[in-house]
Structure 1
Amino acid sequence: MQSTVNLRRRRIGLVVAGVLATLSNAQANDTSALPDNLVVQTVNVNGERERDERGARGALGDRADLDTPFATASVGSAQIEDRQIASLAQVFADDASVTSQGGTYTQAAHAVNVRGLRLDFTNGYKIDGQPFQMFGVELPLETVESVQLLKGASGFLYGFAAPGGIINYITKKPTNETLLSVDAGWSSASLKRAHVDAGGRFGDDKRFGYRANLAREQGGTYNGAEVNRQAASVALDARLTKDLAWSANFLYQERDIDGAVPTISLQNYPAGTRLPSPVDGRKDFGAYATSYYNSTLWMGTTALDWRINRDWKASLTYGHTVKRIDSANETLYLTNAAGNYSNRLAPFYRPNLTYDAVQASAEGKFFTGPLRHHVTFGAGWQTLERTLNPESNLSLFGPATAGNLYAPPPVLVDTSTFDRSVFYTISEYTHKSVFASDTIEFNDNWSVLAGARYVDYENLNWNARGVQTSSYNKKPVSPTVALLYKPSSNATFYTSYVEALEDGGTVGTTYANANEVLPPLTSRQAELGVKVDQVGWAANAALFRVKRGATYADYSTDPRGVFTQAGELGYKGLEINGSADVTRWLKANGGVTWLDAEYKATAPALIGNRVESTPRFQAVLGLEAKVPQLAGLSLHANASYLGEQEANSANTIQVPSLTLFNLGGAWRTRLDNRDLTLRLQVNNVAGKDYWYSAGSNSLQIGAPRTISFNARIDL
């Protein structure tokens, strides 16, 4: 009877997100031969519900979401296309626990806060489960099948990572049926995009699969920058035998931006002063004609997946990723509420980062008496090498670089010089780990999860002269334990505890101790949650508490600030998300997050202060309608509210609350016996001018009203 119940559970269409994993995937008709990818089942916050998706769960193995004690979110390619999402900042706009801290035309395009915690750009982002250093990169969403988010501490599942969570980009995989589509679009002001997507299978019994995507973007942005981007991805797979499958994935992007949105710094802003009135996001603040921001990435992965028998399988994966940035970007240092500022140009001395990663894992099921076990175990190894140019002579701010937010920017000339052909290795790290987990089912209702990951983490750092400046080696054990109760097949209550260690990171260039590599931070997370999947509606809620080592800017000894580690930050909150079919043609979704984040045992002046860039309250509400009067026409709209935030650790400057509205639609029809889809999207419908927090003492200029149009035809 127990086996029958479990089979029935596996057939349930899941709508609440499962746990991410680190294995690559090749999709085929014979699912028993599929490599296990990072797949998340989720309540898509736009009301679309994905059914019968299953996949590997890292140290948890392959299981349904209702059997996992973690909160997640996922956005699939259909939603990305219909809403014409072009940046990570927009991907999770419908999730009330996620906050963007960077715009697509800035060096902080990657910056995302989850439950008030910024994701670790060194360990917090994956492509098909492989590690990727995300700083300053905007990945090509045309090549992506879904973007998946695991919320909370993930040390047990992945090793080192910040407790905010993990974002994983799943690239498009071979299709069972032949696919060829072409789409083209336009966006404010003169940005043009084109994309080709092709896939299918060939050979005896369609043994071999392929998927290729090409994307091109070029033109002017709403703020005066010029974009030139090209991207390509290829996915291949082969069913070597009935039980053995091979897959490989490749991704490339070159993205060049001439001019960009400057960062607004509050380091020199007077305490206790209201922020200046926000400025029009369409204004070009470029003072230096030579400012630019270019990024290049390559990624390649390969995997073997072996179905040993009905209950056991194994997987071996290898990934290689490379990222390079070349830039000269501007920062405006505000000096008063009238909008006066000094401009600083900072060449970013062309960092190169290279990852190599290997992982082997196995999982299976067995009984010990009346107890059913689901075990997963494995080992992983990865390295990261980071090289830089020696730091250039920066164009420092001063009287000659003064400007005002409400006046035309000054005309300035870049006087910095440095040799781009000279590189040195600034850091190397090696991350080795072994992991194991066991989920024990006592009966149809109760189960216990226990697991641990042992990590051997070494970090070595050098200066431009080749002198080692610091090193550390940590060997933590990251445990997790959870209790799950299923009152029925479509509901789960859970409580879980996780510990994790995260990389301390490298201090940014604006601080007095720029490029200093900081030691690791420890975090601990407890979560109590519920997931429900009913016909016509779904919901999930999580009550969480996180304790994390504190990092903050100390301005007591240097006006530029010294980025410091000391003490502890405490986060506790509640998030609720849900979706419902209101009628046959109308769906609604919404969510709220309440968060209390404060400095705990740290500098006396900070104890009790609210952590900067953490709104106390967030909310989203969305609607999606299929218009009965016109076949194929669907409309969608959403509103988001972001509460007031502190701009600095001293809590002397506040960023006002913000409400934004977006709407759009898609019309699917036929043209000359071919499927045609027309899409229109309007973001920031009211054309609101606004600031948003981009971290400690940092602001970004909000995007203005933008209009995007896209047409796709399936050939």
Structure 2
Amino acid sequence: MLPVTINTHASKLRSFAASLLFTTASISVTTVVTVSEVHAQTLQTYNIPAGSLATALNRFSEVSNIQLVYDASLTRNLQSPGIKGTMLPAEALSHLLSGSGLLYRFTNGKSVTLTKPSNTITLGPVRVGGVLQKQAPDTAMIGNLPPVFPGGDVARGGQMGMLGNKDVMDTPFNATSYTADFIKNRQIRNIRDALKDDPSVRSTFTTGSPGYEAMTVRGFNVLSTDMSFGGLYGIVPAPATLSEVAERVEVLKGPAALLNGMSPGGSIGGAINIVPKRAHDTPLTEVEADYTSNSQFGGHLDLGHRFGKNKNFGLRANGVIRSGNTAIERNSMRTALTSLGADARFKHVRLSADFGYQYRGIDGTVPYFSLQDTTPIPQADKVSRNLGAPWSRDRSQDYFGVFKSEVDLLRNVTAYGAVGMSSNQAHGLMIKSISNIDSRGLGNGSANATGNESTNITADLGLRAHLKTAFLLHELAFAANRYQSDSGTFSQYETMNRGTVPIDGYTAFARPTIKVPGHVPHTASSTLSSLAFADTISALDKRIQVTAGLRVQRVQSANFSASTGLRTSSYDQTAISPAVMAVFKPVKNVMVYGNWIQGLQQGTIVGSTYANAGEIFSPYKSTQYEVGVKGDFGRFVATFDVFQIMQPSTIYDSATNILSLNGEQRNRGLELNVVGQLAKGLHIAGGLMLIDPRLTKTQGGKTDGWKAAGVSTVNFNVGLNYDIPWVKNLALTSDVTYTSSQYLDTIVPRRSFPGWVRLDLGARYSIKNPASQDGGRLSFYLNVDNVANTRYWNSMGPYAAYFLTLGAPRTVRFAISADF
């Protein structure tokens, strides 16, 4: 049987047609939501001796140049039989994991998730009056954008998954929604950096490196592929998403299985949603030219207009292109985005559609570092920012489209449906990592040639209804969704300058003999499907609200041989995930809330060497308890909460030779957040998170009580936006980030790297645009990130376990924007 090449034009059309058919015909059928998975498919030679599983996996990652995504606690005290010979990476990984009980799953890109529940395991003047007029009922989402706080940086509410939009004072979670104004004023280039002022969010790999722009929320992973677009998984570009596509960027902290279903990568730290741009009631024609150090130039065109007697029809188009050298030495980047958002709003029917294309090309890709177990962590100021080669390159392009509809069946009863599709193709030839670094600061250059492709189809159906009785209000929500992915990866690896690459200098790498693949076989498919119901019961004018709900989640995945196309492994399990949330408002502007909710991750199949071989564990359930209080002071809101998230994992009992689901990591913390306008002209977004990440149940109790790796315990952010009162139309911004030290791994002796502080500053000034007849403005923006050019090791998180990347250097951005 020949390998299947995915992403052909015909297969896309067939998949899209099937998805449309599903949306119109299967509201009563259990729907499927898919997880993106990828397998490397190039024969490679391995010589990895038997011994520590962690060491064996590190060596496998070096040879295959595949990122392994898992918590270090998963492999503690586990052994590997080793491998020797020439085989596919998937086969090599199967041998290395033999007897461990871990199930591998290739994700949508260049990494593998080991599924053992420990880790799958964001003044030119504010545009007043530009917001859509509310024409939709409370049960609708299209044309129902929550209002913003004074200053326009943060919204008063956001989407709570199947429950729809909620005001911040009706949301029983710590959640923040950053606006397009926040993004524009700071000239933020990607979605991840739109969350730069949130203390619960930390980024991992630096922009310009081979890793995805992932992050952690409350100390747990949130992969870039697990962001949603208008509430749908699997739409956003896999490596990173340009910020110009977003009207809002919403972050809800903690697990959210009931609200959104299981995410493709099993992220449990939080839910991040991109709200796409729509045409406002005020016409928009805006042109921007920008510069980014060291010599990157670009432009952005943003057009929005509504048509018809009652402005029923709207179009919003965005185009972006940037190219040139970045602030990182020997690194350049080219990005392009085109997006179109259309909507139609009638009395009882609302429609919307989004289409987009994104391209990202990196030359001089920045490799990350991996150390030998006995190598101390080097000082960040002693390491070169870029040890990659000039010929290193990484290319990715994404196409995506979404169609949504809403129909008001009765007053405050709305049925909705959505279908979306995305396609990703990526290839690269690069020095991906400087690996096996010894105590002298010398390592290997790990060259990798890769090709990745994936196609995702997602669909969502549901109903929201508000029903009043004599004393109570019921807000009912029903949802059924499906997300399916087919993917593949082809990879070749070559070790260069073995043991002679100094991390404090520069090595001229010769071009490797390996080639970028031209064909990618189909190697993985994954499906998630779920049905959910929730009811929010309110009394006393919504001063008391209790929400209870249930989601039935089915998880299916399969791996296929690259050479024969035959299925090599599969998983098919179902989990039931309940949740309870409550809101109490003792006085008008104070809200006390609590939630008990779960996050879901794919389970594992016990290996053949255990006494309980073949046992299949259901999807893992991480559980959150959270209690908080919010104060609404009119122009700003303050939130204080305490939370606990417990993530299960498997451990091995040597006495009985049984692998069981009895391991656990527990993250406890408290958060303080303030958003809005503190005083006239002074706006804030920021706060504090203190977190205690503990390994509470480990194999034999050997590391019980240890702090988990990749989590900083003290995190502080504050972003200020000040309109200078004595200089009209001049505003200043500042963003301060503090991240405390964190452990690299869980080996003895433990290794940690120090905390860091970063300061970003900005200014903007506007004047009347002489070329505009309608009062348009001409605005000037200047932003400097990392003003002191501080060198620091990036926050890691479990996603980047064992890998180190330097934080971005001082970066200057300047832009001129003309509004007509």
CA change 1:40–1:539 in 2 (3 A) is: farther
- SS in structure 2 at match of 1:308: strand
Identity among equivalent pairs (%): 26
How many residue pairs end up in the alignment?
658
Aligned to 2:244, the other structure's residue is in SS state helix
Change (3 A) 1:55 1:689: closer
Decide whether the 8 Å contact of 2:234 with 2:457 is kept in 1.
Answer: no
Mapped to 2, the partners of 1:551 and 1:582 lie a distance apart of 47
**Does the alignment pair 1:262 with 2:364?**
no
SS in 1 for 2:746: coil
Instruction: Establish whether residue 218 from structure 1 lines up as the match of residue 323 from structure 2.
Output: yes
- Deviation of 1:139 after TM superposition, in Å, equals 1.0
Q: What is the Cα deviation at residue 638 of structure 1?
A: 2.1
- Rounded to whole Å, the distance in 2 between the matches of 1:432 and 1:94 is 34
* Aligned pairs (5 A) from 1:48-197: 48=152, 50=154, 57-122=160-225, 124-132=226-234, 137-161=239-263, 162-197=267-302
8 Å CA contact 2:793–2:805 kept in 1: the answer is: yes
Query: Once the 2 structures are TM-superposed, how far is the Cα of residue 319 of structure 1 from its aligned partner?
Result: 0.8
Give the alignment of 1:21-60 within 5 angstroms: 29=133, 31-32=135-136, 36=141, 48=152, 50=154, 57-60=160-163
1:518, distance to aligned residue in structure 2 (A):
11
Relative to structure 1, the CA distance from residue 585 to residue 378 in structure 2 (aligned partners, 3 Å threshold; closer, same or farther) is closer
5 Å-filtered alignment, 1:567-606, equals 567-579=663-675, 581-604=677-700, 605-606=702-703
Q: Which runs of 5+ in 1 are unaligned?
A: 1-21, 507-516, 555-563
Bigger mean CA offset, 457-466 vs 211-220: 457-466
Q: Is the 8 A contact 1:279 1:690 kept in 2?
A: no
SS at match of 1:431: strand
| Contact map agreement 1:637 1:661 (CA 8 A) in 2 | yes
CA distance in 1, matches of 2:169, 2:661: 38
- 1:530 equivalent to 2:629? Answer yes
2:780 is the alignment partner of 1:678: yes
| Distance in 2, Cα, partners of 1:49 & 1:257 | 31
1:312-351 Cα offsets, whole Å, 9 max, x none, are 1111111111122212232012523543222111223x22
CA contact (8 A) 2:681 2:724 kept: yes
Q: 1:608 aligns with which of 685, 705, 712?
A: 705
Matches within 5 A, 1:249-398: 249-266=354-371, 268-270=372-374, 273-279=376-382, 283-287=385-389, 289-329=390-430, 330-333=432-435, 335-348=437-450, 350-389=451-490, 391-392=491-492, 394-397=493-496
How do residues 557-572 of structure 1 correspond to structure 2 at under 5 angstroms? 567-572=663-668
Corresponding residue number in structure 2 for 1:229: 335
The alpha carbon displacement at 1:519 in A equals 8.2
**Residues 77-126 of structure 1 deviation map (CA, whole Å, 9 limit, x = unaligned):** 1111111111344221211111110222123342100011011444x211
Q: Structure 1 residue aligned with 2:509, among 411, 417, 438?
A: 411
Q: Taking structure 2 as the reference length, what is the TM-score of the superposition?
A: 0.75
Partner of 1:617: 714
- What is the CA distance between 1:49 and its match in structure 2? 5.9
Does residue 735 of structure 2 align to residue 638 of structure 1?
yes
Report the Cα offset of residue 598 of structure 1. 1.8
Structure 1, 188-197 or 302-311: larger mean CA deviation: 302-311
1:211 to 1:588, Cα distance in 2 relative to 1, 3 A: closer
Structure-2 change in CA distance of 1:669 and 1:325 (3 Å): same
Q: Which amino acid in structure 2 is aligned with residue 146 of structure 1?
A: R
Structure with the bigger RCO (C-alpha within 8 Å, sep 6+) is 2
C-alpha distance after superposition, 1:408-467 (max 9, x if no partner): 22322212246422x222211222211111111233432211001112221111131223
Equivalent of residue 402 in structure 1, options 487, 500, 503: 500
Change (3 A) 1:47 1:593: farther
Cα-to-partner distance string for 1:54-75 (whole Å, 9 max, x where unaligned): 6653232344332221111222
* Superposed displacement of residue 192, structure 1: 0.8
Instruction: Name the SS for the 1:99 alignment partner.
Output: strand
Q: 1:634 to 1:251 in 2, by over 3 A?
A: same
SS of residue matched to 1:167: strand
Secondary structure in structure 2 of the residue aligned to 1:90: helix
Aligned: 1:430 with 2:527: yes
Q: In the aligned structure 2, how far is the partner of 1:341 from the partner of 1:573?
A: 38
Equivalent pair of 1:278/1:691 in contact (CA under 8 Å): no
Q: 602-611 or 686-695, which moves further after superposition?
A: 602-611
Alignment match, 1:451: 549
Give distance in 2, aligned partners of 1:110 and 1:505: 27
Select which of 489, 494, 518 maps to 1:420.
518
What root-mean-square deviation, in Å, do the aligned CA atoms of Structure 1 and Structure 2 show?
2.9
Separation of aligned partners in 1, 2:676 and 2:227: 31
Match of 1:205 in 2: 310
- Pick closer, same or farther for the CA change 1:580–1:151 going to 2, 3 Å: closer
SS at match of 1:573: strand
Q: Quick one: structure 1 residues 38 and 690, their matched pair in 2 at CA, closer, same or farther if it must change by over 3 Å?
A: farther
| Distance verdict in 2 for CA 1:317–1:579, change over 3 Å | closer
- Asked whether the equivalents of residues 712 and 795 of structure 2 are also in contact (C-alpha less than 8 Å), the reply is no
- Is 1:488 the counterpart of 2:587? The answer is yes
1:238 corresponding residue in structure 2: 344
Instruction: Report what 1:704 is aligned to.
Output: 809
Judged with a 3 Å threshold, the aligned counterparts in structure 2 of structure 1 residues 376 and 582 are, in CA distance, closer, same or farther, namely closer
- Structure 1 residues 195, 425: closer, same or farther in 2, change over 3 A? same
What residue is the counterpart of 1:542 in the other structure? 641
Question: Cα distance 1:269–1:342, how it changes in 2: closer, same or farther (>3 A)?
Answer: farther
2-structure distance, mates of 1:520, 1:151: 21
CA distance in 2 between counterparts of 1:142 and 1:49 reads: 15
Structure 2: tracts of 5 or more residues without a match: 1-32, 34-129, 606-615, 653-659
Find the residue that maps to 2:310 and give its secondary structure: helix
CA distance in 2 between counterparts of 1:66 and 1:236 reads 30
In the alignment, is the contact (CA less than 8 A) between 1:42 and 1:73 conserved in 2? no
Q: After superposition, what is the alpha-carbon deviation per residue over 1:331-387, rounded to whole angstroms, capped at 9, x for unaligned?
A: 012523543222111223x22121111111111122344222111112112211112
CA distance in 2, matches of 1:117, 1:637: 27
Aligned pair in 2 of structure 1 residues 40, 69: CA closer, same or farther (>3 Å)?
A: farther
Pairwise CA distance, 1:43: 8.9
CA distance in 2, matches of 1:113, 1:504: 21
Between the aligned partners of 2:164 and 2:540, the Cα distance in structure 1 is: 20
Distance 1:107 1:134 in 2: 18
